[in-house]
Amino acid sequence: MTLPHFTPLAASLFSLLAIASLLLTFIMLGSRWLRDYMYAFGLQSWMIAVLSASMGYYAHFPELYLVAVLTALFRGLLLPYLILRILQRLGADRELHVILQPSTALVLGAAGVVFALVVAYHLAAAVGVSSQVVILALTVMLSMKLIGFLMLSVRHEAISHILGLLVLENGIFLGSQILIPGMPLLIELVILFDLLVAVACFGVLARYLMERAGTTSSLQLRKLVG
Amino acid sequence: MTAHDVLLQIGQVAAVLLLSPLVQGFILRYEERVQRARGPSLVQPYRDLWKLFHKELVVPEGASFVHFVAPVVAFTAMLIVPLLIPVLTDYPLPLSDMGDILGGGLILTLGGFFIALAGLDSGSAYGGIGSSRSVMVSILAEPTLILVFVGITLLAKSMLPFVVNHLLANHLAVYWSPAHIFLVCAFFILLLVETDRLPIHSSTHIEVYMIEEARVLEYSGPLLALVKWASMMKQFILYTIFCNVLVMPWLLSTQGTAAGALGAAIAVLGKFALVACAVIVVETAQSRLRFYRYQEPLAASFVLAALAIIANQIR
């Protein structure tokens, strides 16, 4: 892993941003209202944008500024706006029938974070890196992925599925920003537009579901419609 | 151990004993003020205690010795805990090596345990409901409390509140670290739960949802005064741990002079007024949760404590 050496101030800034993103993931996990998920997601994207920009500043990758601006615009503004529009059209404002109570989900998420920490220690030891920032980035990345999977599996509104997917992706993006800051610009752009396509497709799919099945809850999709 | 230190230690206990009704009065008064009512006087809790101590003692039929012992045990437990924590001075005084943070927590819980026993003792329906509810809330709150203590211990590599106080007062980097901020948030939720505030406990006391008040419904006269005083002292002690150990570890007497102790007492009141304002905001903005959603704030607190431990491991 080619990792630049960070000053203590930079390291603490990265830690703070990463931990704040993790906290926002927990807010998404514990909230019942779909609108709150979306605001938390938007805020998280802004955190990651700030992380990109500060990484660009401290590690001297000028193209990261562009990535930061694009992240803030696309993930922080455009995606929440699109999802908000889908929400308004569907009229779904919260999960009606939860599979797991939010408190159980929170505790499961905490267990996921502990697991991610253990995995991160082993990974860092295997690669031979002992930097605290790397371990933190790995932990946050893995736990955001685990929580994203948890959200995908215990929620059943179509919108929650989109947001679970986005959280998962945010986690990977956050980890990549800290661990491999010098990724080619093209890859970052591809990821951004990929997400946009995913959300647009999901929007079309959700409207189709609403029209054909009369619901966007995946619980209702078990029976075959001939 | 000098006579001076012994006097200071007695002063710590006396401060908790005498100032705790004032904190309660402050919260009650300004909660009403926020809602644009006039509110009771600041010294109303003192008057209530005085009135209750002069009332006749009525004992329910079928009450055993537990009924008489429980208030005394609860009151005594609350007199012991101030010996262990920094109320006025930021250095250990005589007998403060009796127990660490866990020991203090144990004695605090002992008082609550005896009150729960007393609720069950007389066999009345309300007392039983109150006791079972409060035990359920403490089943939910205790693991988080222990986890917060573990977090504090890992942060300071020590279980003594004085060491934590010195670490946080002298090292700003530790004070502003995510681990400490998460611990403060987790402890604030616990503080609301343990001092009978919303979102779990109802703000008006005599009603169907009451928890703490239902346990002591059978008490009257001087015993009721002891129980009420003990619960005010518990609130004062938890505020002390929150302020002097975690959030505002400054402005304590470092030399132990009389003027310093007096100044520390005034500073403690100022700090508690700040915390009380935060509590009043929560009590005004938050409605009481449904019974089946009690675990949500406590799960949030649990997650914050777990995150604090994680953040501390990779600090």
Give residue B203's pLDDT: 63
Q: What residues of B are in the A interface, CB distance below 8 Å?
A: 173, 178, 295-296, 298-300, 302-303, 306-307, 310-311, 313-315
Provide the pLDDT for residue B59: 87
pLDDT at residue A95 in the model: 64
Residue B202, pLDDT > 80, answer no
User: Is residue A152 one of the residues assigned to a domain?
Assistant: yes
pTM assigned to the model: 0.85
Mean pLDDT over B282-293 rounds to 84
Residue A107 with chain B: CB contacts under 8 Å: 299, 302-303
Mean residue pLDDT of chain B comes to 87
- What's the total number of domains in chain A? 1
A109 and B303: CB-CB below 8 Å? yes
Burial A195-208 (b: 16+ CB within 10 A, else e): beeebeebbeebee
Residues ≥6 apart with Cβ < 8 Å to B195: B234, B235, B238, B239, B279
Cα gap A79→A203, rounded to integer Å? 11
As a whole number, mean pLDDT of residues B95-110 equals 86
Answer yes or no: is A94 within a domain.
yes
d(CA A86, CA A81): 9
> Under an 8 A CB cutoff, do A114 and B298 touch?
no
pLDDT for the residue B20: 93
A26 CB neighbours in chain B (<8 A) are: 303, 307
pLDDT of residue B181 exceeding 50, the answer is yes
Average pLDDT of the segment spanning B181-197: 90
- Compute φ and ψ for B89, nearest 5 degrees: -110, 155
Q: Does residue A139 fall inside a structural domain?
A: yes
Under the banding of pLDDT at 50, 70 and 90, the label for residue B100 is confident
Count of CB contacts below 8 A, A vs B? 52
Residue for token pair 């959030």: B247
Does residue A153 form part of some domain? yes
> Which has more pLDDT, B183 or B251?
B183
At residue B313, does pLDDT exceed 80? no
Q: Is residue A2 part of a domain?
A: no
Average pLDDT over residues A85-91: 78
pLDDT above 80: residue A73? yes
The pLDDT value recorded for residue A93 is 65
CB-based contact B108:B122 (threshold 8 Å): no
Window from A60-74, A211-225, B41-55, B122-136 with minimum mean pLDDT: A211-225
- Whether A6 has a pLDDT exceeding 80, the answer reads no
For B303, the closest of A106, A136, A139 (CB atoms) is A106
Q: Please check whether residue A109 is in contact with residue A154, taking contact to mean a CB–CB distance below 8 angstroms.
A: no
Contact A107 B300 (CB under 8 A): no
A66/B contact by beta carbon, under 8 A: no
- Both structure tokens of B56: 């006749």
Whether residue B116 has pLDDT greater than 50: yes
A23:B307 CB<8 A: yes
CB contact under 8 A, B303 and A114: no
Instruction: Indicate the domain borders of chain B.
Output: 3-313
Flag whether pLDDT at B233 surpasses 90: yes
Are the Cβ atoms of B296 and A23 closer than 8 angstroms?
no
Q: How far B300 CA sits from the closest chain A CA (Å)?
A: 7
Contact between A178 and A21 (Cβ < 8 Å): no
Best of B136, B289, B293, B310 to substitute, by most chain A Cβ atoms within 10 angstroms, is: B310
Indicate the residue of B173, B300, B310 with minimum beta-carbon distance to A117.
B310
How far apart CA A146 and CA A138 sit, in angstroms, is 12
What contacts B283, CB < 8 A, 6 or more positions away?
A: B31, B197, B198, B203
- Decide if A1 is inside a domain: no
CB contact under 8 A, B295 and A132: no
* Cα–Cα dist A223/A126, whole Å: 47
CA distance B171 to chain A (A): 15
A110 in a domain, yes or no?
yes
Say how many C-beta atoms besides its own lie within 10 A of residue B41's C-beta. Answer: 12
Q: Which domain holds residue A49?
A: 8-221
Is residue B295 within 8 Å of A101, Cβ to Cβ? yes
Q: Is the pLDDT of residue B66 over 60?
A: yes
Instruction: Supply the DSSP symbol for B62.
Output: T
Average of pLDDT values for B31-48?
90
pLDDT digits (tens, 9 = 90+) for B7-22: 888 989 999 999 999 9
pLDDT of residue B290: 82
More confident residue, A147 or B2: A147
| Statement: residue B179 has pLDDT above 60 | yes
A185 within 8 A of A67, measured Cβ to Cβ: yes
* pLDDT at residue B197, rounded to an integer: 83
Residue B72 has pLDDT above 90, yes or no: yes
What is the pLDDT at residue A1?
Answer: 44
Q: Is residue A3 part of a domain?
A: no
pLDDT single digits (tens) A135-170 = 888 888 999 999 999 888 888 777 778 888 888 888
A175 has a pLDDT exceeding 80? yes
B148 vs B310, more confident: B148
pLDDT recorded at residue A97: 66
Residues B162-172: pLDDT tens digits? Answer: 888 888 888 88
